[in-house]
Amino acid sequence: MSLATIIHAGMRQHERPPLALVLMGGGARTAYQVGVLRALADMLQSHAGGARSFPFQILVGTSAGAINAAFLAARARAGLQAFEELAMFWGRLRSTDVYRLNTSRWLRFSRVALALRLSQHVQAKGALLDNTPLAEMLRRGIPLDNIESALRSKTIDALAVTGSSYTSGVHWTFCQTASRETFQPWTSPGRRSEFQPLTIAHLMASSAIPFIFPATSLTVEGQEEYFGDGSMRQITPLSPAMHLGAQKILVIGVGQPERPWLAAAPGTPGSGPSLGSMAGHVMASVFHDTLQADVEQTRRVAKTINELPQEAVSAMRYKAIEVLAMAPTQSLDALALQYTDELPTTIRDALGALGMLKGGGGTLASYLLFEQGFVQSLLALGRGDATTRAAELIELITGP
């Protein structure tokens, strides 16, 4: 993130410092975010007389985090109940609601036949899995018209989702605010923004995991481009929130860039990594967020400015951007390995026959495991992590 973005954001003047919620991508792993937010809602209800208003003015999401953000924006006028409804949404979710793969069970007995069938499927669909069920579920589950109502009532100020263009290589942030006229777009090398009322296509584009789900077409600057998962090339995840005016940010990531437990995975000496290990590494690379780097840079800028002579600080009228970052305290890869048997039979058979559930297969499975064993474990982990940091969360939202 550029130094200018951080400083400019800190110099904006607001009657009420806008609080942003930034939700990173990670497929099924983003159920962890729901656990954190559900716990936060409980904390807020029991704090300061049981306030129930929706606490975030700016919502920014990427990939499955974009789906969570859009869901909350559509229900923001319900106040803290929005978080409970999001938890109920995830509680009903199954992998068959998100994707499907139509293969015959006998194919699992022949790797050659299975590879041929999957190759034909990829050529026909442009990806391994068909995510049509996801589009249908989102149309039923997210009333997009309610987002406009939340914006016009000033319950929220902005909703933004990100996607990565296969066509141009540009990382786009699509923003919906109450007024197109007041929206101020930004442009940086490889990164652009545009005002667009958000649609199901935006959510499908942002969550289109490369090779797993097909690309989705969107129109930007009057041209049709094809988009994949917004986590690709996302080098500054906090930047959109700051451009939209955030003074305080709660960001919830689900990435784990270091996976030392994989080094202990059994294997044949000299055989090299398994397909599962390689697939897991690729997925972790796609969702390898630079969140911590963004957080550290924001804090360094604040520290540097505050060390200037007091006269200079006063003249700048700079207020440091407060950032609280949440991430799982346990390995989600290892957790997913406990629930791979819950994968749909066709998926489990296909991935198993190809050896993609061995070695580091837990990483790949963790993005696709929209099943209740894994989901409920993530919700519990998120709740536990949030409870541990309750004082920090309350102070960020309500002040010291």
**234 SS3 class:** coil
229 as an active site residue: the answer is yes
More reliable by pLDDT, 262 or 180: 180
pLDDT tens track for 121-156: 666 667 888 899 999 999 999 999 999 999 999 999
CA atoms of 26 and 388, how far apart (whole Å): 23
Rounded to two decimals, the pTM is 0.86
Instruction: Dump pLDDT digits (tens) for 386-396.
Output: 999 999 999 99
Q: Give the per-residue pLDDT at 260.
A: 47
Q: Which two tokens stand for residue 370?
A: 């929209």
For the question of residue 104 being annotated catalytic, the response is no
One of 157, 229, 289, 349 is an active-site residue; which one?
Answer: 229
Buried b (16+ CB within 10 A) or exposed e, 5-37: bbbebbebeeeebbbbbbbbbbbbbbbbbbbbb
Predicted local confidence at residue 116, as pLDDT: 65
Read off the pLDDT of residues 306-332 as tens digits, 9 standing for 90 and up: 666 766 656 655 567 889 999 999 989
Q: What is the pLDDT of residues 34-75, one digit of tens each?
A: 999 999 999 998 876 656 799 999 999 999 999 999 999 999
Domains of the chain from N-terminus onward: 3-8+18-255+274-398 (3.40.1090)
